[in-house]
Structure formats: structure tokens, C-alpha cells
Amino acid sequence: MQETDKEGWLSSILGKEQPPSHLARAVIEEKLRNAILDGRIPSGIALRQQELATLFGVSRMPVREALRQLEAQSLVRVEPHKGAVVAPLVGEDAVEAYSLRLLLEAEALRLSIPLLDAQDIAVARTYIEMLEAETDYTQMGKLNRLFHMALYHRAPNRRLLRLIKDGLDEEERFLRFNLSAMGLGELAQDDHWALLNAASDKDISGAIDILKHHLNRGVEAISHYLHHGPCAVAHKIIPPQKNDI
């Protein structure tokens, strides 16, 4: 792709709005993040600092910082000679990532559940209810993450929670792009209710079993995706199912 074409293409996605300099990093990060998450900028595309700086009418510094943030969120990765490149949607290690998530999130449930109070349970319940009413994939991915974190957040191990949040961010990206093709229907929402009830009853082993079941659905969906390839994702015309998460 010619650079000039690419700049035109990027500007059609990102707009040419020139953010005030103190907001530049945050605005650029948010715009790139959204465009990557919903697939408008496909994986493998190189994001050049100078091009983006020109596009937004800023220096390279905020662009570099924005790209660094996106790298920390696994949305871009730095490749030799290419610089920042949009990372693949699902890595070949996705199934391994899920099994690791199960270990981490089960531990968070074990630590957090005894400390959850009625208010925490009420907040988690609100997220499920919002998920049921939501049809926008962007919001659904986010609500799914917020629901899970609401159940884990009392775990006193901050480092554990940070690792979990990274995993959930990764899942959010996958869900956001691929929800319609995933076939994760109302059953997954049933998992959320069951998880909430177990947490509310302080039933740690019950909650961990449900989480295992819930994450296994994710593994199956990703295996399906890897097997059938991105064409399943290209068919985004499949109408969204209510509760489809």
C-alpha cells in the first residue's frame, strides 16, 4: 500500500481532528484502540509514528506514548524494522491463555469471595442486567469485563488482579470483534447468574466450577475460530442475539 493511500485510509478511520496537546496521547490511544478492537484497522498493519503524528498534527511524542499503551494492552506489538504493528486478534496461544486465566481467576475468586459485601454483589448484578439489555458489542465486551472484575476485585493481591485484567482486556477485544459469530448465547449469561449466586452464597468451590465451565466456552469458541478461520468473523451480518456474550 502506498504511504499516501494509507494516510488517506487512516484518516478516514481516525478522522483528522487535532486534539489539544495535553489530551493528544489519550485521544490518539482511544481512537486507535477502538479502530483496532472493532477490526477497522486489521492485524498486521504497521502504525508509523510519523504518519500518525502528521495526521493528528502533533509531535511524535504523544503518538509514541499512545502506541506504548496499546502495546501494554497487547493490541499492538513492536516488530523489528516495522515498528508498531497491529497484533493478531487471536494468538495461537489463545487456548493456553484461557487455561492460565482459569488458574488466576479461580485464585481471585478464592481470595475475593469471602470479602465481598452486599454492595459488591449488587454492583455485579447490575452489570449482568445491563448486559442483558445491551446490544452494542463494544459495551457488551466492556460489561463482561466489569462483571468479572466486580467479583474478583476484593482479592488483596494487586498483581494478581493486574494480570487478570490483562487477560480480560484480551478477551474483550476478541468478544468485541467476534461476538456475533461466536455462538456464545444465553448459556454464557446463565453462567454469569450462576457465578453471581455462588459468590453471594460464599460458595467458593461452586463458583470456581462455574467459572471453569464459563471459560471453557471461550476456549471452544476460540478453537472454532482458529479452525474455521477469520471468515466466520467476516460475516458480521449475523444479527446480534440478545444476551449473546
Q: Which residues bind Ni ion (CB under 5 A)?
A: 144
What residue type is 60 in one-letter code? Answer: R
**Nearest alpha carbon to residue 41 among 33, 30, 49:** 33
**Shortest Å, Cβ 144 to Ni ion:** 5
**Shortest Å, Cβ 70 to Ni ion:** 24
17 or 136: whose CB is closer to Ni ion?
Answer: 136
**Shortest Å, Cβ 148 to Ni ion:** 6
At CA 36, angle to CA 34 and CA 39, rounded to 5? 105
**Shortest Å, Cβ 192 to Ni ion:** 6
217 or 236: whose CB is closer to Ni ion?
Answer: 217
73 or 144: whose CB is closer to Ni ion?
Answer: 144
**Shortest Å, Cβ 195 to Ni ion:** 8
Instruction: Order the strands of the 76-79 sheet from edge to edge.
Output: 46-47, 83-86, 76-79
144 or 243: whose CB is closer to Ni ion?
Answer: 144
52 or 221: whose CB is closer to Ni ion?
Answer: 221
**Shortest Å, Cβ 214 to Ni ion:** 6
The residue of the chain with the least Cβ separation from Ni ion equals 144
29 or 134: whose CB is closer to Ni ion?
Answer: 134
Alpha carbons 211 and 196: distance in angstroms, whole number: 10
Alpha carbons 214 and 219: distance in angstroms, whole number: 9
- Work out the angle between the directed axes of helices 158-182 and 24-37 (0-180°, nearest 10): 50
60 or 165: whose CB is closer to Ni ion?
Answer: 165
Dihedral of CA atoms 88, 91, 94, 96 in degrees, nearest 10, equals -150
Annotate 130-196 with DSSP letters as a single string.
HHHH---HHHHHHHHHHHHHHHHTT-S-HHHHHHHHHHHHHHHHHHHHHHHHH---HHHHHHHHHHH
**Shortest Å, Cβ 205 to Ni ion:** 19
**Nearest alpha carbon to residue 66 among 51, 81, 80:** 51
